[in-house]
Amino acid sequence: MRVGWIGLGAMGYPMAKNLKAAGHEVWVYNRTPAKAKAHAEAYGTRAAERLEELAGAEAIFTCLPTSNEVWEAAGKLLPHLKPGTLWIDCTSGEPEQSRKIAARLAEAGVRFLDAPVSGGTAGAEAGTLSIMVGGEAADFERARPLFEALGRKIVHLGPVGAGHATKAVNNTLLAAVLLAAAEGLLALRKAGVDLNKALEVINQSSGRSFATEVLLPERVLDRSFPLTFKLGLLAKDVRIGSKVTEDAGVPSPLFHLTRELYQAAAKTIGEDADHTEAVKLVEAWAGEEIR
Ligand code: NDP
């Protein structure tokens, strides 16, 4: 297929390369054009200097920070798109905004799928992402070969917005568990427990999670905090997660508390810090570090 890709960030850069490796003709566009040029040189994709150059594609992917940038890109590209083009949004976006984007694109006969991903930059690089898809079943089937180049667990969840809602719930769980684990580990450290040993046993017990199995031992305990996923982006996901529960009328004190905590963390520690640095909020309160 001829594919257009908008957004070569931490996730989009490796994902677009995997589409090319699967045999598709991939045109890449990025706000900072040097990244598109570097991508084309490294992987044999085609660098577009202007957004409109993507217009001949059968499928257009977006992987941008929020639904706002997707709305903007859709508005710019829409007059140039032919009916039947498939727009696949891998941004961790907002369900309500996605429904608006889908309706706007539908006026020109362009189909929309929300397809946010999980698995981090390592999963994007390896093509092993989980992909959570919202949209019509026929569009999902058309996009399946493209998804297969990007991920392993590919699930159609319902109409437009269902993928973004599921992703927001997933990331709110990740965010809440990371801070809860940080609180617990700080208490254990103050009690004189070796945290490597504590995690060793927790990870063979019922309290284990991605945070205890990967994030805390590999990125926090050694104080490396490598930048793979910005704290500001996780705070945005948790805001969406909290809105999803609110819109559904589900009382959700834990989701709302998590939203407050991550807003505070992003403000205090910085939007561009890695998401694992959120633990520094709890560390400051405890006057102790997780080591
Ligand atoms: P990055 O910040 O690394 O990249 C953002 C991309 O969007 C860059 O290509 C950037 O261009 C472009 N961009 C930013 N602002 C604008 C704008 N105003 N107009 C046009 N383009 C813009 O983000 P990630 O790749 O980490 O994240 C992308 C999406 O994927 C987010 O929704 C995030 O929540 C989600 N996600 C991230 C994961 C991760 O581990 N990083 C995991 C799963 C999902 P430029 O190069 O010019 O800055």
Domain contains 6: yes
Q: How far apart are CA 253 and CA 124, in angstroms?
A: 33
Q: How confident is the model at residue 195 (pLDDT cuts 50, 70, 90)?
A: very high
Quick one: 84 and 127 in the same domain?
Answer: yes
User: With a 6 A CB cut-off, is 215 part of the ligand 1 pocket?
Assistant: no
Quick one: 231 and 150 in the same domain?
Answer: no
Beta bridge partners of 155: 132
Beta bridge partners of 114: 89, 134
The burial of 222, by beta-carbon neighbours within 10 Å (0-12 exposed, 13-18 middle, 19 or more buried), is given as exposed
pLDDT, position 75: 96
pLDDT, position 190: 97
End-of-domain residue from the set 133, 159, 185: 159
Quick one: 188 and 237 in the same domain?
Answer: yes
Q: How confident is the model at residue 184 (pLDDT cuts 50, 70, 90)?
A: very high
Quick one: 148 and 18 in the same domain?
Answer: yes
Quick one: 280 and 176 in the same domain?
Answer: yes
Q: What is the pLDDT of residues 18-48, one digit of tens each?
A: 999 999 999 999 999 999 999 999 999 999 9
Quick one: 136 and 36 in the same domain?
Answer: yes
DSSP secondary structure code for residue 56 in this structure:
T
What would the mean pLDDT of 97-118 be, rounded to a whole number? Answer: 97
Q: How confident is the model at residue 247 (pLDDT cuts 50, 70, 90)?
A: very high
Residue 85 backbone class (left: φ over 0; alpha: ψ -120 to 50; beta: rest) = beta
Query: Could you tell me the CATH number of the domain that includes residue 233?
Result: 1.10.1040.10
- Residue with CA nearest ligand 1 atom 4: 9
Quick one: 103 and 201 in the same domain?
Answer: no
Output the CA torsion sign for 176, 222, 272, 264. Answer: positive
What would the mean pLDDT of 53-80 be, rounded to a whole number? Answer: 97
Select from 5, 11, 172 the residue to mutate for testing ligand 1; criterion: most ligand atoms less than 8 Å from CB: 11
What would the mean pLDDT of 183-189 be, rounded to a whole number? Answer: 98
Query: Could you tell me the CATH number of the domain that includes residue 138?
Result: 3.40.50.720
Quick one: 35 and 149 in the same domain?
Answer: yes
Quick one: 103 and 206 in the same domain?
Answer: no
From the candidates 167, 230, 236, 280, give the one annotated as an active-site residue. 167
Percent of the chain's residues with pLDDT above 90: 100
Domain total in the chain: 2
Q: Which domain holds residue 184?
A: 165-286
User: With a 6 A CB cut-off, is 125 part of the ligand 1 pocket?
Assistant: no
Select from 63, 98, 125, 225 the residue to mutate for testing ligand 1; criterion: most ligand atoms less than 8 Å from CB: 63
User: With a 6 A CB cut-off, is 117 part of the ligand 1 pocket?
Assistant: yes
pLDDT, position 125: 98
Quick one: 154 and 197 in the same domain?
Answer: no
CA dist 234 → 21, 55, 192 (Å): 29, 31, 32
Quick one: 63 and 120 in the same domain?
Answer: yes
Beta bridge partners of 117: 131
